Amino acid sequence: MNTLVLAYLVMQFVTHWKCLGGVPQLVVVSLDGFPKEQLSRHPWEHLTWVYAHGSHPRRFINQFPTKSFPNHFSIATGLYQESHGVVGNTVFDPNLKRILTIKDHELFTQNPGVMPLWTLNEQLGGHSGCIMWPGCDGPFNGRNVTYWEPYRGNATLTELVDLAVKWLTDSMTPANLVFVYHNQPDLAGHVYGPDSSYYSDELKKVDAGIGYLFQMLQLRGLRQSVDVVILSDHGTASVSAQTGIIDLNTVLNRNCIPSPAPPRCLISGLFKKDLYVYAKLQNGSRANHYRVFLKENPHMQAWHYKDNPRISSITLVAEIGYVFQDFRKYIKGYQEEGYPGLTETFGDHGYEVDNPSMEPIFVAVGPSFRKKFIAEDFSNVDVYPLVCVLLGLPPGPNNGSLDAINTMLARSIPLQLMPPILVALGTLVLWMLLSTQVT
């Protein structure tokens, strides 16, 4: 009798292991353009709590160029930009012979083998939700996500949190993986620069939104079963419209391709004249604040920003705080939008990864993560294999590594091995009990 009860309990435990919190639900929140260096510059009501109760790396490394869509797609796929093909917010695709923007899903589907985490999760029977995450509004491998919210520039973090919690707690098909994208503080950084009071105010709102997220999880009884990763794609740097704009027309009569790409500029399609153009640009870089790289330059290889036809033969990168002339179009846009309190100071990103003001944030908190733990440096391509471990998904080919990121996990046994181990233990206990009864 006792044996049967015990056997029943063991089997129940194994079957309901997921519900018992063995495989947590996961929410990944991206705060676009949140610079790590801002963490030490303000008092935080909620982020301080998150850091104290979770794990973070000494340094979270992003990919060059430090632009939004490329880095968000590296996080979702575990691939360098040259491998996933989103090599800029806007790219010129020489095979399609046209410029692709965020409105074209082809921006994200150059490599047909690429399957972002949300699709991988759906294929393995999970339910993914995406709130405005770049690339998530079209199918991969012929498959859409279960829950999807399109981009709205005016959406507040509070609204996004409400939506995420609604999906997590759906009674029929609860989402086990939700990606949340918030366009702040990036927008305030561009319009006002990171040293303005408008920017500080936006940071306060973002902090309050994070507080609201944990409050809602608490309220819905999800604090013990939901893991939360809060990260960003890059930081931001102050740009002066008076002294920070480089006019390439004074060096070479040519614009960046595709045009709106400061502080990085790709110049392509020049064939035999490339070396002449390169020499001109190289000469111009002596009097201007930018660097020039041919594809063959070792930096391009080190940045994994080389092996893709969407990357042109010449890449220019402005020094921190400088932008190319196309930036004037943005300024005009901000003026037309009627943002209050505009000055001559703006902000931008896209610079080299080693620049401290481009460094993004990463902090993970929840049942799977150690508390108050600092891991060694890891890269945003390492997030993909981490999520695979957390959700028990088989990772596809990727450029990530678990070496540093795995140290944040509270349990040393990989989570996907837990069910088989429990089954084995249950069987062993059963066998022992049965054999004692027989003898």
Contacts to Zn ion by CB under 5 A: 32-33, 68, 186, 233
Half-sphere exposure of 103 (CA within 13 A, CB side): 2
Q: Minimal distance in Å, beta carbon 350 to Zn ion?
A: 9
- Cα–Cα distance list, 96 to 105, 110, 149, 257, 306 (Å): 13, 10, 28, 15, 19
Q: Minimal distance in Å, beta carbon 181 to Zn ion?
A: 9
Give which of Zn ion, ligand NAG, none residue 142 binds (C-beta under 5 to 8 Å, depending on kind): ligand NAG
Measured from the CB atom, is 302 or 417 closer to ligand NAG? 302
Give which of ligand NAG, Zn ion, none residue 273 binds (C-beta under 5 to 8 Å, depending on kind): none
Q: How far apart are CA 72 and CA 244, in angstroms?
A: 27
Q: How many CB atoms lie within 10 A of CB 11?
A: 13
Q: Minimal distance in Å, beta carbon 32 to Zn ion?
A: 4
- Residue 371 CA, chain-centre distance (Å), reads 22
Q: Minimal distance in Å, beta carbon 413 to ligand NAG?
A: 26
Amino acid at 81: Q
Q: Minimal distance in Å, beta carbon 159 to Zn ion?
A: 19
Q: How many CB atoms lie within 10 A of CB 436?
A: 9
Give which of ligand NAG, Zn ion, none residue 233 binds (C-beta under 5 to 8 Å, depending on kind): Zn ion
Query: Using the 8-state DSSP alphabet, how is residue 367 labeled?
Result: T
Q: How far apart are CA 90 and CA 173, in angstroms?
A: 35
Q: Minimal distance in Å, beta carbon 168 to ligand NAG?
A: 22
User: 370-382: string of b/e by CB count within 10 Å (b at 16+)?
Assistant: beeeebeebbbbb
Residue 158 φ/ψ, nearest 5 degrees? -60, -45
Measured from the CB atom, is 156 or 407 closer to ligand NAG? 156
Q: Minimal distance in Å, beta carbon 79 to ligand NAG?
A: 6
Measured from the CB atom, is 1 or 287 closer to ligand NAG? 287
Give which of Zn ion, ligand NAG, none residue 68 binds (C-beta under 5 to 8 Å, depending on kind): Zn ion
**Both structure tokens of 433:** 């009990």
Give which of Zn ion, ligand NAG, none residue 94 binds (C-beta under 5 to 8 Å, depending on kind): none
Give which of Zn ion, ligand NAG, none residue 32 binds (C-beta under 5 to 8 Å, depending on kind): Zn ion
Enumerate binding residues for ligand NAG (CB under 6 A). 79-80, 83, 139, 142-144, 152, 154, 280, 283, 286-287, 304, 397-399
- Residue 80 CA, chain-centre distance (Å), reads 12
Measured from the CB atom, is 67 or 84 closer to ligand NAG? 84
Give which of Zn ion, ligand NAG, none residue 304 binds (C-beta under 5 to 8 Å, depending on kind): ligand NAG
Measured from the CB atom, is 129 or 350 closer to Zn ion? 350
Measured from the CB atom, is 33 or 262 closer to Zn ion? 33
Q: Per DSSP, which regions of 78-205 are E strands?
A: 91-93, 98-100, 128-131, 147-149, 177-182
Residue, CB closest to ligand NAG: 397
- Cα–Cα distance list, 144 to 123, 309, 383 (Å): 10, 27, 21
Residue 80 φ/ψ, nearest 5 degrees? -65, 160
